[in-house]
């Protein structure tokens, strides 16, 4: 397995880049120092949004954590993250259309209505729809002071969170948006009009970061998917689908074992999407995971939420898959956007808000028979190998550090 380790991959990539630079310098007879690397070229050509992403913390006086990310993680360098972000780029087709205008004339603005308008886009995550709706709150606000605007933003955030109290990503996305947008000391020294413009700018920037997260994760994960591998996935995750779709577009040869994903059979939906991509896929019943694990090279799952311990909350069955994989020494990779990082610390399976879902067994169930209707479980960090996020590739042990940076 050493030839697929992160350090080996990084060293190999660096050697290839150095050889390419040296060859180009020799061919052009110019000093190597005057050549721009692909990552540098992409950086110069990208928008200001990409520059912000490549340097998450441009003010060294605030925190040195992002400057020493590689030392904290021991998995990925900042160069690799920057290259993935630059490769994603900013393209007009990548951003959802502004199909709804906040505060239309003659119609009172409703953050829930705005949220539901954004949710009509099938590829847009629920948390990103909430972030877009909250940005519209700022644009349509008639507040005259920063205090009034912040109160209005908090009320809108609370309204969205109450729309689905069981959604971890929705709650975390709203909280992170509020903190990101209002966390700037410059607002104290500006007039209200300028401060509001600054808030709108930061709101749009956060929305773009969140929307592009899925593509950045897909880019980062490609080095871990090798030709001939077999990947086990569970249920339907849009970010996992993006990872596999990108691998297929890169002409990697792999096959997927897809669980049925009871009770809503979301695995059927994922297997259909993979079949459209001509990816070899095999559908399993959920109870066949242990039976099929010896065929598997890695497990890829999404997450409803990433908690402070580095564990994840995901659809029911993820925990038992991780247990089987851990027992059989198979890596378990999690693909999750940073807006799913939640300030939660569950101690066991029952220590979280219930998310219930009706289950159809196909036959009548006697009234005296109790049915477990929980829709998700908690997977502790010791059963996870790596988390692929738009912040980089993280080990579970450093998730708490990232949470501090996000919520600070």
Q: What is the pTM of this model?
A: 0.69
Buried b (16+ CB within 10 A) or exposed e, 117-134: bbbeeeebbbbbbbbbbb
Give every CB contact of residue 89 below 8 A, 6+ residues apart in sequence. 42, 46, 50
**pLDDT tens per residue, the chain (408 residues)?**
434 433 444 456 556 666 765 665 565 554 443 433 334 433 444 444 334 334 433 443 333 333 333 333 334 444 545 555 565 555 444 444 444 444 444 567 788 888 888 888 877 788 888 888 888 888 888 888 888 888 888 898 888 888 887 888 888 888 888 887 777 655 565 677 777 787 788 778 887 877 788 889 999 999 999 999 999 999 898 899 999 999 999 999 999 999 998 877 888 989 999 999 999 999 999 999 999 999 999 999 999 889 988 999 998 899 999 999 999 999 999 999 888 888 888 888 887 777 777 777 778 888 888 888 788 899 999 999 999 998 889 999 888 887 777 766
d(CA 351, CA 221): 31
Give the chain's length: 408
d(CA 42, CA 93): 19
d(CA 261, CA 270): 10
């Amino acid at each position: 397995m050493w030839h697929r380790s992160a350090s080996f991959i990084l060293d190999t990539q660096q050697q290839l880049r150095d050889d390419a630079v040296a060859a180009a310098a020799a061919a052009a007879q110019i000093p190597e120092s005057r050549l721009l690397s692909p990552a540098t070229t992409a950086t110069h050509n990208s928008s200001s949004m990409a520059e912000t992403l490549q340097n998450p913390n441009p003010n060294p006086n605030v925190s040195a954590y992002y400057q020493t990310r590689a030392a904290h993680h021991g998995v990925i360098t900042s160069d690799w993250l920057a290259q993935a972000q630059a490769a994603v780029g900013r393209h007009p087709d990548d951003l959802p259309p502004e199909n709804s205008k906040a505060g239309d004339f003659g119609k009172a603005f409703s953050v829930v209505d705005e949220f539901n308008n954004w949710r009509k886009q099938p590829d847009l995550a629920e948390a990103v729809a909430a972030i877009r709706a909250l940005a519209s709150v700022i644009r349509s606000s008639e507040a005259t002071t920063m205090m009034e605007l912040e109160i209005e933003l908090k009320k809108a955030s609370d309204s969205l969170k109450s729309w689905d109290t069981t959604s971890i990503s929705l709650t975390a996305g709203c909280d992170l948006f509020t903190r990101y947008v209002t966390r700037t000391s410059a607002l104290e020294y500006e007039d209200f009009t300028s401060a509001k413009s600054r808030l709108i700018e930061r709101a749009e920037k956060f929305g773009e970061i969140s929307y592009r997260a899925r593509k950045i994760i897909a880019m980062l994960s490609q080095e871990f998917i090798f030709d001939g591998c077999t990947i086990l996935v569970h249920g339907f995750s849009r970010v996992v689908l993006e990872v596999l779709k990108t691998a297929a577009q890169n002409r990697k040869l792999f096959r997927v074992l897809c669980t049925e994903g009871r009770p809503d059979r979301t695995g059927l939906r994922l297997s259909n999407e993979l079949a459209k991509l001509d990816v070899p896929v095999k559908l399993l019943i959920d109870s066949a995971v242990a039976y099929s694990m010896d065929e598997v090279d890695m497990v890829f799952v999404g997450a409803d939420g990433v908690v402070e311990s580095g564990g994840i909350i995901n659809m029911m069955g993820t925990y038992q898959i991780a247990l089987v994989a851990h027992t059989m020494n198979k890596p378990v990779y999690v693909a999750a956007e940073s807006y799913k990082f939640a300030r939660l610390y569950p101690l066991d399976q029952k220590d979280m808000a219930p998310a219930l879902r009706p289950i159809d067994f196909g036959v009548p169930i006697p009234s005296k028979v109790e049915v477990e209707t929980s829709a998700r479980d908690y997977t502790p960090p010791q059963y996870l190998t790596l988390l692929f996020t738009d912040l980089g590739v993280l080990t579970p042990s450093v998730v708490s550090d990232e949470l501090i940076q996000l919520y600070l």
